[in-house]
Amino acid sequence: MAGASGKKEKVKVDKAGPSGGGNKKKDVKKETGLGLSVKKDENFGEWYSEVCKHEMIEYYDISGCYILRPWSMAIWEIMQTFFDAEIKKMKVKNCYFPLFVSPGVLEKEKDHIEGFAPEVAWVTKSGKSDLEVPIAIRPTSETVMYPYYSKWIRGHRDLPLKLNQWCNVVRWEFSNPTPFIRSREFLWQEGHTAFATKEEADEEVLQILELYRQIYEEYLAVPVVKGMKSENEKFAGGLYTTSVEAFIPNTGRGVQGATSHCLGQNFSNMFEITYENEEGKREKVWQNSWAYSTRTIGVMIMTHGDDKGLILPPKVASVQVVVIPVPYKDANTQGIFDACTATVSALSEAGIRAEEDLRDNYSPGWKYSNWEMKGVPLRIEIGPRDLENDQVRTVRRDNGVKEDIPRGSLVEHVKELLEKIQQNMYEVARQKREACVQEIRTWDEFISALNQKKLILAPWCDEEEVERDVKARTKGETGAAKTLCSPFEQPELPEGTLCFASGKPAKKWTYWGRSY
Ligand code: 87F
């Protein structure tokens, strides 16, 4: 069944493009007057999968694996260009370690691997013969890299060691796969650094977290909260975990956007990563690790998409402006086409990513809805009237606002519009999230807020046992509630405030919710 869609996921493939395929679907689409067969508010899961299929993703015949098509890969590359340059400024160097892990090393740090073991995929054969020793496929690269850190780090002059790799990892998840959000293979960067002092490590954790915030807020226009993970939710192999957390109002779920860990000296203990200090004494290094993945793209799609399809923030859109000719019967068609080409040239020269759609087998209306579905932030239409008046018509994808602008001020105008769109998308997303935040104080308020799909901010005693208890008490079909993070920006916590779950004195405000 090569090329078919994964059976269990009930994938519907619509091969016929925006105006619909099979008759049934076409009817539905006609009825809604939109390009998608489901609405975001009516069936979010179906909506998401349909939007992804409009050129971001192709489903694959192995469940939980997806093809990233050029339309999504370009977004990944834009974020990669930003992040790669930023970490290089911090003197991080790129490298590449092998995909395979020998079982000996993988099991070396049993504590951290224990909970994850069921997700590790193994190669057991070559051709028809069994391998003498099966080899694992990296789910993350601590065990692959750290034996070499031990070898490479000898003296204090070898520190800090700051490496990053852009790669794929495999985690054989069993809970429902979702494109970008939860897939069995995904792309990420993983940074692994080693320092002489904890202070240096602490500082880097936050520098990286700030870059992750920038990716979400400034590139993807998705608001996030920076904070500290609870003991239950931190990376078990490390000392503490910081994260950026996003929230999806439609499902009322939090989503961990990226993590920046301080590993402390746990791994230097296990892998004997030590150096000789200036006094000739052996010391253990302090380590960090940090990652963001293609999950970022899924969070962006969920945050901004609407009933017409995707909406891409200009900063990550591979096509920021699409120029569409609108010829009429007796109009100067060639003149219109030439104006389109000239418009694209002018924009491209100014560094704006613009494309024209001169296909003659589709109507302008079809093209509008096709590019809307693909989320291009700005459309430019050029028809006979525009030609006559030496103007173009702009149509914003984020709010539908139309404007006629003189061709003389095209470039400045479009630049300004793209910035406004970026800003507005962030602002709208932030307001939607703010409307979901609920501060609670008691268990009853907590349960009621949870049922209303709120992002809950609660005073908490910060005890592991209490978080486990909350999880147990909220267990249900849609998953249990857990902590997302304790925000670095803490509201005031008056003396005597009690934990909503245990009634003990509260130590901090923490975000709670169901999550992806
Ligand atoms: C699945 C299987 C085996 C997550 C896993 O977050 C091991 C693991 O160690 C595992 N899933 N993790 C935690 C990854 C921690 C850490 N690794 C480097 C990061 C950032 C990049």
Q: How far is the CA of 18 from the centre of ligand 1 (A)?
A: 39
Q: Around 227, how many Cα atoms within 13 Å sit in the side-chain half-sphere?
A: 25
Q: Where is the domain boundary, 241, 272, 304?
A: 304
Q: What does the pLDDT read at residue 348?
A: 98
Indicate which atom in ligand 1 lies nearest the CA of residue 238: 15
Is the four-CA dihedral 368, 221, 13, 34 of positive or negative sign? negative
Percent of the chain with pLDDT over 70: 93
Residue 443 Cα to ligand 1 midpoint, Å, equals 33
CB 514 within 8 A of CB 253: yes
394 domain-assigned: yes
Please indicate, yes or no, whether residues 206 and 87 belong to a single structural domain of this protein.
yes
Is the shortest distance between the CB of 171 and ligand 1 below 6 Å?
yes
Q: Are residues 274 and 331 in the same domain?
A: no
Q: Which residue's CA is the nearest one to ligand 1's atom 14?
A: 140
Same domain, 423 and 469: no
Our count of domains for the chain comes to: 3
User: What are the residues whose beta carbons fall under 8 Å from the beta carbon of 165, sequence distance 6 or more?
Assistant: 94, 95, 96, 97, 141, 189, 190
Q: Quick check: is 40 in a domain?
A: no
Residues 141 and 284 in one domain: yes
Range of the domain at 365: 321-432
Is 24 domain-assigned?
no
Give the CATH number of the domain where residue 490 resides. 3.30.110.30
Q: Is the CB of 285 under 6 A from ligand 1?
A: no
Q: Is residue 316 part of a domain?
A: no
Each residue's pLDDT tens digit, 390-443: 999 999 999 999 999 999 999 999 999 999 999 999 999 999 999 999 999 999
What is the model's pLDDT at position 387? 95
How much is the pLDDT for 8?
Answer: 41
What pLDDT shows up at residue 1?
A: 37
In a domain, 81, yes or no: yes
Q: Is residue 28 part of a domain?
A: no
Atom of ligand 1 nearest to the CA of 259: 6
> Same domain, yes or no, for 368 and 389?
yes
Closest atom, ligand 1, to C-alpha of 140: 17
- For the chain, helix (H) and strand (E) counts, in that order, are 15, 23
Q: For the packed helices 198-214 and 70-89, what is the interaxial angle rounded to 10 degrees? A: 150
Mutate to test the pocket of ligand 1, among 83, 113, 140 (most ligand atoms within 8 A of CB): 140
Token digits of residue 233: 């939710």
Mean pLDDT of 235-258: 97
- Indicate whether 391 and 505 sit together in one domain: no
From the CB of 139, is ligand 1 less than 6 Å away? Answer: yes
The 10s digit of each residue's pLDDT in 367-393 is 999 999 999 999 999 999 999 999 999
Q: Are residues 191 and 293 in the same domain?
A: yes
Query: How high is the pLDDT of residue 106?
Result: 75
CA of 236 to the centre of ligand 1 (A): 9
Of the residues 273, 304, 335, which one is the last residue of a structural domain? 304
* Residue 111 pLDDT: 67
- The pLDDT score that the predictor gives to residue 444 is 97
Higher pLDDT, 316 or 107: 316
CB-CB neighbours of 406 under 10 Å: 11
> Among residues 390, 405, 432, which one ends one of the domains?
432
- CA-nearest residue, atom 15 of ligand 1: 235
- The reply to whether ligand 1 has any atom less than 6 angstroms from the CB of 259 is yes
Indicate if 169 and 265 belong to the same structural domain. Answer: yes
Best of 235, 267, 287, 290 for a ligand 1 pocket test (most atoms within 8 Å of beta carbon)? 235
Q: Are 166 and 58 found together in one domain?
A: yes
227 is a domain residue:
yes
Tokens of 321: 């402006």
Distance, CA 139 to ligand 1 centroid (Å)? 6
CATH number of domain containing 345:
3.40.50.800
- Mean pLDDT (the chain, rounded): 93
289 CB within 6 A, ligand 1: yes
Give the model confidence (pLDDT) of 454-495 as tens digits: 999 999 999 999 999 999 999 988 899 999 999 999 999 999
Look at residue 458 and tell me if it is in a domain.
yes
What does the pLDDT average to over 220-237? 97
Q: Return the pLDDT at 108.
A: 74
Model confidence band, residue 58 (pLDDT cutoffs 50, 70, 90) = very high
Asked if pLDDT for residue 86 goes beyond 60, the answer is yes
Looking at the structure, do residues 287 and 386 belong to the same domain, yes or no? no
Cβ–ligand 1 distance for 368 under 6 Å, the answer no
Q: What is the pLDDT of residues 137-188, one digit of tens each?
A: 999 999 999 999 999 999 999 999 999 999 999 999 988 999 999 999 999 9
Confidence check: pLDDT of 75 > 90:
yes
pLDDT of residue 32: 42
What separation in Å is there between the alpha carbon of 134 and the centre of ligand 1?
20
Mark whether 507 and 364 lie in a shared domain: no
Looking at the structure, tell me whether residues 215 and 296 fall in a common domain.
yes
For residue 204, report the distance from its CA to the centre of ligand 1, in Å.
19
Q: Is the pLDDT of residue 23 over 80?
A: no
Residues 358-363 have a mean pLDDT of 96
Residue 240 belongs to a domain with what CATH number?
3.30.930.10
